[in-house]
Amino acid sequence: MFKLKFLTRVLLVLSVLTSIFLTSCDKNIISGAALYEKGGEYAEYDKVAEKIKESDIILFGELHNNAFAHWAELELTKLMYKEFGNKLMVGMEMFEADDQMLIDEYFRDLYPAKNFEDEAKIWKNYSTDYKPILEFCKNNKIEFVATNIPRRYAAFVSRNGLEKLSTLSPEALKYIAPLPVEFDSTLEGYKEMKGMPVHNKEIKYLAEAQAIKDATMAHFIAKRIKSGMKFLHFHGSYHSNDYQGIFWYLKKQNPNFKITTIATIEGPKIDSLGTENANIADFILLIKDDFTKTY
C-alpha cells in the first residue's frame, strides 16, 4: 500500500529546508523554496506522491550548482527507496555510458572510492552534489545507470553533425543512442539553441549535440528499465523542460511510458510561479535565487 507517511513526506523533501512553514500546510511554501504543479497552483501532497506512484520514470531536472536541488534529490532518492525498495533504479546525466563498468565494479567493492574517482569522468562538484546519491545507491544495492553520451562523441557531433556518427567504430556506437538519431529542429529547446551565438567556429551543430545527449540518456533509461521498476533520473532541467529532450525521446521509444517531470528554476521571489514557467513540467521547484551555490 502507498503509505500516508510517504504521501506527506515527498512534497516536504522537494520544498522544505526547515520544518517551519510560513503558510498553511496545504500551500507548500517556505522561506527558501516552493513547489508548484503544472498550471501554477501550489502542489498538494497527495498529487505529488500519487503521480510518482503511477509513474515508470521520474525525470528530475536540476540546476547543476544549486545546493537545495541536490539536497532534495538525495532525500527523494532515500524516500523512494524506503517506499519501493529494490524496485528503485537511479540514473544520472553526470555519468557517461562508458563509465558503467567502473560503476558496476565499484558497487561490487572491487576497489576503493579513490580508484573509482581517479578513473571515472566525475564532475567538479561530484563530492558535494552527486557522490552522496551514488554512495547511497551503492550501500543499498540500488541499480545505478550511467546514461550520458561520452563527452568526446558529443563534441564530435557539435563539430560535424549527427550524420557523421555513422563514421564511428562499432565499439564507439555502443555508448550512443542507436542510429539514425531522429532530430526535430522545430522543438523549441533546439530552436533556441540554434540561435545562440557560438564563439568557437568549429562548433556548428550545437543543437544536434544537445539532441544526441537527450537521445542517448533516453536510450539507456529505456534499455535498462525493467517491468515494475521505478527509474529516477537526474539531469539538467533543460534536458526535460517543456516535455522535450529526454521526455520526447522516451515517448518516441515507448509511448506507453508513464513519466513524471520535475523542473527546477530560480527567482527573486517564490510566492508566485508566473506564467512563463507554469507549464514546463508536472511539478516546478522554485528556489530563491540567493540560495547557496555549490560552485
Amino acid letter, 274: G
How far apart are the C-alpha atoms of 39 and 284, rounded to whole Å?
10
Please state whether the predicted TM-score (pTM) of the whole model is above 0.95.
Answer: no
> What is the band of 46 on the pLDDT scale with cuts at 50, 70, 90?
confident
How far apart are the C-alpha atoms of 80 and 101, rounded to whole Å?
25
CB atoms within 10 A of CB 200: 9
The pLDDT tens digits of the residues spanning 240-295 come to: 999 999 999 999 999 999 999 999 999 999 988 989 999 999 999 999 999 999 99
pLDDT of the residue at 199: 61
> What is the band of 47 on the pLDDT scale with cuts at 50, 70, 90?
confident
CATH of 4-288, one of 3.40.50.720, 3.40.50.300, 2.40.420.20, 3.40.50.11550: 3.40.50.11550
The pLDDT tens digits of the residues spanning 223-254 come to: 999 999 999 999 999 999 999 999 999 999 99
What's the rounded mean pLDDT across residues 115-132? 97
The three cell numbers locating residue 88: 528503485
β-bridge partners, 234:
60, 92
The three cell numbers locating residue 201: 567556429
Please say whether the beta carbons of 36 and 291 come within 8 A: no
The pLDDT tens digits of the residues spanning 161-175 come to: 999 999 999 999 999
Radius of gyration of the chain (CA): 19
Kindly report the backbone phi and psi dihedral angles of residue 252, in degrees, each rounded to the nearest multiple of 5, phi listed first: -65, -35
How far apart are the C-alpha atoms of 161 and 42, rounded to whole Å?
42
Strands 33-37 and 283-288: antiparallel
Angle CA(128)–CA(134)–CA(136) in degrees, nearest 5?
A: 100
Evaluate if residue 195 carries a pLDDT over 80: no
Domain boundaries defined on the chain: 4-288
How far apart are the C-alpha atoms of 80 and 75, rounded to whole Å?
9
